[in-house]
Amino acid sequence: MSEKNDVFEKIVSLAKRRGFVFPSSEIYGGFGAIYDYGHYGTLLKNNIRDLWWKAMVQLRDDVVGLDSAIFMHPMAWKASGHVDGFNDPQVDCRQCKARFRADHLLEDFGIDADKATIEFINAELGKLREAGKLKCSNCGSRDLTDAKVFSLMVKSNLGSPTEALSEENVVYLRPETCGGIYLEYKNTVNSARVKLPFGIAQVGKAFRNEIVARQFIFRTREFEQMEMQYFHHPSMTKEKYEEWKQSRWTWYALLGIPEDKIRFHKHEKLAHYASEAYDIEYDYASLGGFKEVEGIHARGDWDLSQHSKFSGDDLTYFDEKTNERFIPHIMETSVGLARLFLMVLDNAYTEEEVKEGDVRTVMKFPKSLAPVKVAVFPLLKNKPELVAKAREVYDMLKQEWQCEFDDNGNVGKRYRRQDEIGTPYCVTVDFDTLGEEDASLKDTVTVRDRDTMEQVRIPVAELKDYFAKNLK
């Protein structure tokens, strides 16, 4: 196994063992490309989401929030082009039944088939087949089908059975969250006292029937997106695009990501309505290289024009200053929460030799993201005075931060466990805290730093100030 796959296996295993991420429905044998988040995973995911929300909504005067429904009127997905065009090209192996994305197969031969027609894809596959180069990466068979179009839309049956089953009434689970933003553009303008340019941001679940989803939480069939749509006059596209590109780039530093681990990837082939599209890619050690995390797209007036056309509603904006009426153009930033989550795990995962032959695994999360900020231990669990004092300290600190009380096993083991979930500080209550031998140490505790492993002695009365300063 390669070193890169090794990191992948280690991260997947730690994520499960320590309660970050579990394969969904495991007691029934699992359910393809769907995952659940355990206690620490939920805390970490919420922290990443909150950091995004703070940067995108709280700190901005020109962006407001939204939480739109997953189900939307079926016509909305016809207007957006998803019902007819949200497809991937699929190839099957007739021998082992493995499934592939045809554009990814061609990519392996250096052929760019992103957004290519099915005719182009099959012509290229044909050439490779004739040259004897095309075979199944799973079983080695050369018996692969031609590519066919596979819809990524996930159907549901909402409403009464007869209604739900008719073709015109198919209800979809949303494949992206921005659809709800376009539909609430008008209500937002009328209620939130916003003036162009302004943005609407939301976080929520999206669903895609991905053909191949084998990269842990990188590509799943149910996932969370954090999207912002920025409505503006067409003359501002260039300026606003550059501003957002820059502001999204700098946000990654807050996640502890060094600049040399991210890069911009420019889309050469654009959707017909788009004028610019870049992705931010992260260099995943666990996935063997740079992969897309976020898209930043200038979408023109396509979305509101289409919804206006299909709904018959007027979605123009009237600018009182210039007396101009127009359909606003849109700049989008769209990022997958699970891809950020995997990026944060990947970047934090560290193995280091503590002393000869003794290697510790430590998740070096930025403190702001760490699921648990402080763990509190009584030195021994069978000494009631130590346990009571440690509980007192824990009860005080948990009012301010996500804390954990741990009295299980020896302190060395407890440190290692906290290292693996990335807890920045551990506080130990010991006999000195009780002041039994040295009265000057009474009511002091040991605080151990996750990264340096150094320990300092701090009065209990000063702990809150200490963490307020150091957990920033």
Distance in angstroms (rounded) separating the CA atoms of residues 413 and 456: 19
- The smaller minimum CB distance to ligand ATP, of residues 174 and 232, is found at 174
Helix residue ranges per DSSP H, 33-140 = 39-53, 74-79, 82-85, 102-107, 118-130
Q: Give CA–CA dist 300/240, Å, rounded.
A: 12
Regarding 421 and contact with ligand ATP (CB under 6 A), the answer is no
Counting contacts by CB under 6 A, is residue 219 touching ligand ATP? yes
Residue 105 binds to ligand ATP (criterion: CB under 6 A): no
Stretch that binds ligand ATP, among 126-134, 260-268, 333-341, 412-420 (CB under 6 A): 333-341
Q: In this chain, which of 179, 300, 336, 371 binds ligand ATP, going by CB under 6 A?
A: 336
Beta-carbon contacts of residue 57 (< 8 Å; ≥ 6 apart)? 63, 64, 65, 201
* Choice between 226 and 327, CB closer to ligand ATP: 226
How many C-beta atoms lie closer than 10 Å to residue 242's C-beta? 11
Per the CB < 8 A criterion, the answer to whether 91 and 142 are in contact is no
Beta bridge partners of residue 154, listed in sequence order: 173
Nearer to ligand ATP, 206 or 379 (CB): 206
Which of 90, 188, 202, 220 binds ligand ATP (CB under 6 A)? It is: 220
- Bridge partners, residue 242, by sequence: none
Task: Please name the residues in contact with 372: beta carbons below 8 A apart, sequence gap of 6 or more.
Answer: 40, 43, 402, 403, 404, 418, 421, 422, 423
The CB-of-77 to ligand ATP minimum distance in angstroms stands at 14
283 counts as binding ligand ATP under rule CB under 6 A: no
Placement of tokens 């409403």 in the chain: 159
Structure-block tokens of residue 223: 């996932």
Q: How are beta strands 222-232 and 198-207 bridged, if at all?
A: antiparallel
Number of residues that bind ligand ATP (CB under 6 A): 16
3-state secondary structure of 176: coil
Q: Least distance (Å) from ligand ATP to the CB of residue 196? A: 24
Q: Does 295 bind ligand ATP (CB under 6 A)?
A: yes
Q: What is the CA radius of gyration of the chain?
A: 26
Nearer Cβ to ligand ATP, position 178 or 421?
A: 178
Q: How far is the CB of 71 from ligand ATP (least distance, A)?
A: 19
Report if residue 334 touches ligand ATP, rule: CB under 6 A. yes
332 near ligand ATP, judged by CB under 6 A: no
**Closest approach of ligand ATP to the CB of residue 219, in Å:** 4
Q: Which CB sits closer to ligand ATP, 243 or 292?
A: 292
Residue with Cβ nearer ligand ATP (12 or 338): 338
Window contacting ligand ATP (CB under 6 A); options: 286-294, 389-397, 418-426, 447-455: 286-294
CA-CA-CA-CA torsion sign (73, 79, 83, 88) = negative
Q: Is 208 in the site for ligand ATP (CB under 6 A)?
A: yes
58: which residues sit within 8 A by CB, 6+ positions away?
none
Please list every residue from 151 through 190 that binds ligand ATP, using CB under 6 A.
176
Q: What is the DSSP string of 10-62?
A: HHHHHHHHTTSEEETTGGGT--TT-EEE-HHHHHHHHHHHHHHHIIIIIT-SS
> Does 294 participate in binding ligand ATP (rule CB under 6 A)?
yes
* Residue placing its CB nearer to ligand ATP in the complex, 328 or 336: 336
CB of 400 to ligand ATP, least distance (A): 33
Q: 3-state class of 440 per DSSP?
A: helix
Using CB under 6 A, pick the residue from 82, 339, 373, 389 that binds ligand ATP.
339
Terminus-to-terminus CA distance in the chain, angstroms? 40
**Closer Cβ to ligand ATP, 339 or 373, answer by number:** 339
Residues 429, 432, 434, 439: what is their CA dihedral angle, to the nearest 10 degrees? -150
Candidates 335, 348, 429, 460: give the one binding ligand ATP (CB under 6 A).
Answer: 335
Task: State both tokens at 224.
Answer: 């969370």
Q: How far is the CB of 52 from ligand ATP (least distance, A)?
A: 12
- Of residues 223-242, which lie at the interface with ligand ATP (CB under 6 A)? 223, 225
Among 7, 144, 338, 370, binds ligand ATP (CB under 6 A): 338
Residue 410 CA to residue 426 CA, distance in Å, equals: 13
Of the candidate residues 106, 293, 327, 331, the single one contacting ligand ATP (CB under 6 A): 293
Query: Given the rule CB under 6 A, which residues bind ligand ATP?
Result: 176, 208, 210, 219-220, 223, 225, 292-295, 334-336, 338-339
